[in-house]
Amino acid sequence: MSPIRLDPWRALRLALLLLGAAVCLAPYLWMLSAAMKPSSEIFSAGLTLWPERWAAAENFSRAFERVPLARMLLNGAIVCALILVIQVVIALPCAYAMAKLRFGAAGPLMAVVILGLLVPIHATALPIYIALDALGLLDGYTALVAPFALSVFAIFMFRQFFRGLPDDLLAAARLDGMSELGVLLRVVVPNAWPAITAFSIFSVVAHWNDLFWPLIVVTSPEMATPPLGLLFFRAAEAGDDYGALMAATTVVTLPLVVAFLLAQKRFIEGITMTGLKG
Amino acid sequence: MSESLASPSSTLSRRLSAPARRQARSEALSGWILASPAMALMAMLILAPMLAVVWFSLTDYQLGYPGAIFIGLENYRALLDDPLFLTSLGNTLLYTAIVAPLSVALGLGAALLIESETRGRAFFRTVYFLPVASLLVAMATVWQYLMHPQIGMINQMLALVGLEGRNWLGSSDTVLWSLAAIGVWQSVGFNMVLFLAGLTAIPRELYAAARIDGAASAWQRFRLVTWPLLGPTTLFVLVISVINAVKVFETVKTLTEGGPNKASEVLLYTIYQEGFSYLQVGYASAMTVVFLAILMVAMLIQYLVINRRTHYQ
């Protein structure tokens, strides 16, 4: 195996990898380019990415005028934060009880968790929608958050993680007179941050990107999350104002992409860890 | 505790038993208390809705009309004669048959190439994973722009090499394939990362051993070492990809609304329309049960194959 014989292979390999990278990146390049171009340039055929005249300011201001884009981003942040906090607060004690305490319900609970892992929101959406409708809670934060208050995935993941914690550590804390809640808050949770971080990333990515559920329960643009906001934006668009549309697209894509670029390792861990267990 | 055991230990256990029992009881009580919020939510958000869906599917329930009546399996029988549902089911299966194998194969290819290339590993991993971390509705919108028949980049590039462009999302011949291309683009990075994790778990010595045993070419080493050892990962990635493909919704809702001519009508979109636009809760619930059954079959296959594999080992 001389290095000379390897060279054509390596060249081919690099060429393939670069081609794949180009395909992955192309949409982002064209998105940014169109967000910067005036519509005359977008509609004049040609593959030039660099705008002749910069129209970024116009495009972005039109995007923010047409729909309450800032409000939608805020909604997305509020909904994701609420969902995450509630999911973690509900799942941690349950997972701890299942992993470290002997009580009769642990077995049946595990069966429900597994069942829950198999059943996506799409399958339970109709009854939950009908219940929220009967309670008059549609088109608000409650409707956006409530169905996701329980994450069986969080319970599953935290339970796996807690089983790895040494029993001696917990026994020592109990001997110090701590209640089980005290053990959970002061011993288990401080040790569980890696699992909580990974789950947080998974949860935020999933709910920031979700279209299905907001589409069902939200009707007013003021309550829309970013994906639904984009749909409203497209509906409000009479002609094809691609410049403003791509500006809006850039705005809603940016937060997660920047977060991903800043914390790639954790992102990849968070998203795939969950995939591996799902 | 058996009689033959030495008496000291049995007195010890008798002496400890009262406090130990008290402790066990308090442990169980703590367990119930700590798990109770989650248990209440499981009942409300998983068990009750699932039972409700199955029950609705046996009735003619329409939202806003009181007095649903039990009609047995009538909804399911109607599904079999419903051309829209059959089209939708067929499209979903075709979409899945395109997206799942392609995204698994390309994910594996990307992982193998990145693993064997020493330069730019982090760069390629980041770039390939970028679509997974992006808002799908937004990127679908961008793809629509790229696939635009006149101003789209794809047709312009085809024109450069003298090929005729098409109306990718606007023609019923190509729409499902175009949506599938977006689906593949979006999921390759996810699969790649799972394969990379699987590849690092393969011991390096096995490759050296294979080389000594005469597996000279990279292909032979792949076939002898990588592929068999990656089997469980591949199966897992395939099942995840199938499940995600069956759940296709975002791109369809954003770009085509099931059109043109129902050529991109898919299961979740049909359920969404039937249940939330036409409020035919009973009928939509029957579709939901079918949808759930497909997901369950995918997971059951994975479970059975994995079980058989471990028996052989």
Q: Which residues contact A82 (CB under 8 A, 6 or more apart)?
A: A141, A145
Whether residues B90 and B32 fall in one domain = no
- Percent pLDDT > 70 in chain A is 94
pLDDT, position A53: 80
- Percent pLDDT > 90 in chain A is 41
Q: Is the ipTM of this complex over 0.90?
A: no
pLDDT, position A277: 39
Model confidence at A269: pLDDT above 80: no
Give the mean model confidence (pLDDT) for residues A123-147.
Answer: 93
pLDDT, position A211: 94
- Is the CB of A23 inside 8 Å of chain B's CB atoms? yes
- Closest partner residue to B153 (CB to CB) among A47, A256, A278 is A47
Which whole-number Å values give the CA distances from B74 to A121, B70, B284, B286, in the listed order?
A: 25, 9, 13, 10
The structural domains of chain A, with segments of one domain joined by +, span: 3-54, 70-277
Decide: A121 and A79 in contact? Cβ < 8 Å.
no
- Is the CB of A150 inside 8 Å of chain B's CB atoms? yes
CA distance B284 to A214: 19
CA distance A50 to B63: 52
Whether residues B143 and B24 fall in one domain = no
Q: What is the CATH number of the domain that holds B100?
A: 1.10.3720.10
Whether residues B26 and B107 fall in one domain = no
Give the gap in angstroms from C-alpha B275 to the nearest C-alpha of chain A.
Answer: 7
Query: Residue written as tokens 């996701």?
Result: A148
Decide: B281 and A134 in contact? Cβ < 8 Å.
no
Q: Which residues of A touch B250 (CB under 8 A)?
A: 211-212, 227
Whether residues B31 and B175 fall in one domain = no
The first and second tokens of residue A39, run together, are 């519509």
- Closest partner residue to B194 (CB to CB) among A23, A120, A275 is A275
Model confidence at A229: pLDDT above 80: yes
pLDDT, position A45: 66
The verdict on residue B196 lying in a domain is yes
Q: In terms of CATH architecture, what is A70-277?
A: Orthogonal Bundle (1.10)
CA angle B68, B72, B76 (to 5 degrees): 105
Domain that holds residue B258: 79-312
* Chain B contacts in chain A segment 52-81 (CB below 8 A): none
- A109-126 residue pLDDT tens: 999 998 898 888 999 999
Yes or no, beta carbons of A127 and B39 under 8 Å apart: no
The verdict on residue B67 lying in a domain is no
Whether residues B170 and B271 fall in one domain = yes
The verdict on residue B70 lying in a domain is no
Give the gap in angstroms from C-alpha B63 to the nearest C-alpha of chain A.
Answer: 8
pLDDT, position A168: 87
- Is the CB of A272 inside 8 Å of chain B's CB atoms? yes
Whether residues B126 and B232 fall in one domain = yes
Yes or no, beta carbons of B146 and A30 under 8 Å apart: yes
- Angle at which helix A69-100 crosses helix B7-42, to 10 degrees, equals 160
pLDDT band at A95 (very low <50, low <70, confident <90, very high): very high
CA angle B194, B197, B202 (to 5 degrees): 130
Decide: A35 and A214 in contact? Cβ < 8 Å.
no
Which whole-number Å values give the CA distances from B193 to A259, B103, B104, in the listed order?
A: 18, 12, 11
pLDDT, position B1: 38
The verdict on residue B63 lying in a domain is no
Task: Enumerate residue ranges in chain B where pLDDT < 50.
Answer: 1-13, 311-313
Phi then psi for residue A85, to 5 deg, are: -60, -45
The verdict on residue B266 lying in a domain is yes
Give the mean model confidence (pLDDT) for residues A150-173.
Answer: 89
- Closest partner residue to B134 (CB to CB) among A46, A257, A268 is A257
CA distance A91 to B155: 50
- A192-203 residue pLDDT tens: 888 898 889 889
**Could you tell me which of B240, B228, B290, B242 has the C-alpha nearest to residue B78?**
B290
Yes or no, beta carbons of B197 and A276 under 8 Å apart: yes
The verdict on residue B11 lying in a domain is yes
Model confidence at A89: pLDDT above 60: yes
CB count, 10 Å around CB of B40?
13
SS3 label, residue A46: coil
CA distance B81 to B89: 12
Q: Which amino acid is at B86?
A: L
- Count of domains in chain B? 2
Give the gap in angstroms from C-alpha B30 to the nearest C-alpha of chain A.
Answer: 7
pLDDT band at A88 (very low <50, low <70, confident <90, very high): very high
Burial A71-103 (b: 16+ CB within 10 A, else e): ebbebbeebbebbbebbbebbbbbbbbbbbbeb
Disruptive mutation site among A7, A47, A103 for chain B (greatest number of B CBs within 10 Å)? A103
Residues facing residue B70 across a β-bridge: B59
Yes or no, beta carbons of A127 and B53 under 8 Å apart: yes
Give the mean model confidence (pLDDT) for residues A160-183.
Answer: 87
Yes or no, beta carbons of B35 and A46 under 8 Å apart: no
- B240-258 residue pLDDT tens: 899 899 999 999 999 998 8
Model confidence at A149: pLDDT above 90: yes
pLDDT band at A171 (very low <50, low <70, confident <90, very high): confident
**Could you tell me which of B183, B44, B192, B57 has the C-alpha nearest to residue B113?**
B192
The first and second tokens of residue B265, run together, are 């009508």
- B74-106 residue pLDDT tens: 899 999 999 999 999 999 999 999 999 999 999
Q: Which residues contact A202 (CB under 8 A, 6 or more apart)?
A: A153, A270, A271, A273, A274
Whether residues B119 and B265 fall in one domain = yes
